[in-house]
Structure 1
Amino acid sequence: MANGKPLVGDMPVGGWIDRLAPAQMRPYLKLMRLDRPIGTWLLLLPGLWSITLAGTAGTWPDLWLMALFCVGAVVMRGAGCTVNDIADRDFDGRVARTAGRPIPSGDVSVRQAVLFLCLQLLTGLLILVQLNGTAIALGAGSLLLVGAYPFMKRVTYWPQVWLGLTFNWGALLGWVAVTGELSLPAVLMYVGGLFWTLGYDTIYAHQDKEDDVLIGVKSSALALGGRTVPFLFVVYGLAAALFVLAAWQAGVGWAFWPLAAAACLHLLWQAVDVDIDDGADCLAKFKSNRVFGWLFLAAAIGGRLTAGIPA
């Protein structure tokens, strides 16, 4: 069960896609993981943080730019899932949790998936060209990371590093979209996001460790084993420190600090409470990172609005 809905493998059944979408569209929407939005949130939030912190002191973030990033995150997360499922179709067909996905189940052919990927990338390009020239070039560069990610687990026990480099690109892109250039706060957020991803995706990978051993792919969960919890304290601590340092460098006001403290406490709770041998708990902790992201976004907005205002 997921949010009260039955599952076929890792796919919800009876959700909004099955109830509302035309039958011919359902496999493609599921290929994009539109019924499981946590990945979209984790891709989107660093960009929203960056747009907010790069804005003018005392003002709200650029809502049009945020809207573009929201649509872009949905499309590009879907494209990344499509690339991943094309590359992993043979692995997925051998694992009970993923055998029901659209490609290994036969609902979408590889040719159809490739054509759908091209459509998603074209849509992403149409969104990207709304930004300034430097942001367009930077955004295009992320495709190299997206394309290579599905193959990392074949060659390294640390594919989560590559995922961190990919999923936090928005921290760089958001800043450049606002200012036209890279600055230290954006770099600090990007590196912080890498450590954040190392934490949450290692938790996620513990769901699949038995299947990963059987099919011969690698993950940080297998590399760390019982050392995962101390690792989480380190990477989440580094992530929190770098995020806070980025915000301080961006000149946030007093409202940032209490909300940022609440966000950091959420990461601490994950590290203290996670049960790496309970797949359901690992999934719940992984999904809870959107709460961290929302809290930090609220902190960034509050900090930008109160910049220069005495407490």
Structure 2
Amino acid sequence: MSDEQTPDQTGDLVRSVEPLTPAAPQYSSRREMRAATSAPARRPAGTTSARPAPVRTNPPRAGQPATAKMSRKDRALVRKLAVAPAPKPVVSARRSSTRGIGASVIGGLVILVVSAIVGTTIMPAYAFLPSGTAGILANATKSSGGAPQAVTVDASAQVPAAKRDLITATSMKEYQQQRITATALANYSVQPHAAGDDYPWPNAGNTLSPLNYYYRQCVDFVAWRLNRDAGVTHAPWKWTWSNLTPGGGDASQWKAAWERHGWKTSATPIVGSVAWFVGNHVAYVKSVNGNTVTIEEYNGMSSRAYAMRTIPIDSVGRFLYPPPA
């Protein structure tokens, strides 16, 4: 059976194998018939190859055709063909590899098409100019001469400048102190005065002044400035020794007096505050300039006389804010 034969054709082949019935030979006599059917044929002279075995047949009965008997080999072949399974179709390796390449090509094309569809749907709308936009932009540029047009913004639409407070703390303790100082700055608004000696008793002797401090001392000058800033320049005075520093008149006692009163003290200076020094001295803060302050004083740089100087803020022990009005 060849590769091109199908199972159906194989079955037909098996069914087509039937016992061979040769045509009955014709003999002239019974002797000739016996000699042809039973006696072996003589080998021709000079023949060396084996002679095929004759097919023996039984003499046919009267009225029946002679039938040839199948050999054992032919019967085994018929049984083998009858029970053999139907052969499977053979697919060549070349055909399978061709089919795999075709599937890969089709899969790649599908991926490219899907990617193109998804990419166009998720692309931002502003990636392309709408139809006619280029012409509108060209006309706008031509009408303006190629220069940008001026736009006037109403004052009400302008954003006001941000206001910053004075809090620059790096710890909770500093924050609390600076918060107190910032609040105090908002509550005190001392108007600055022209620099110069306005002390009313510049030539007085070494006795007590109407403020109950000694004339031309640092404490008497600062007490005078606190009265002046409160709008009082003559008797009755607003601030004297009795209600300003009743515990003692020396400059070294002023910080403790402020704390007993509960008045504000700070490391941050403001105009009109008292610059308190550890070395028993006080002065009046004229102005604040970044990291420095300008102070006015008596009996500081000059003995029992007026002076003005600018010093670093951190050289002052504490700033005593003006007493509340």
Q: Output the TM-score relative to the length of structure 1.
A: 0.20
Higher strand share goes to which structure? 2
Structure 1 or 2, whichever has the larger Rg, is 2
Q: Which has the higher contact order (CA 8 A, sep 6+)?
A: 1
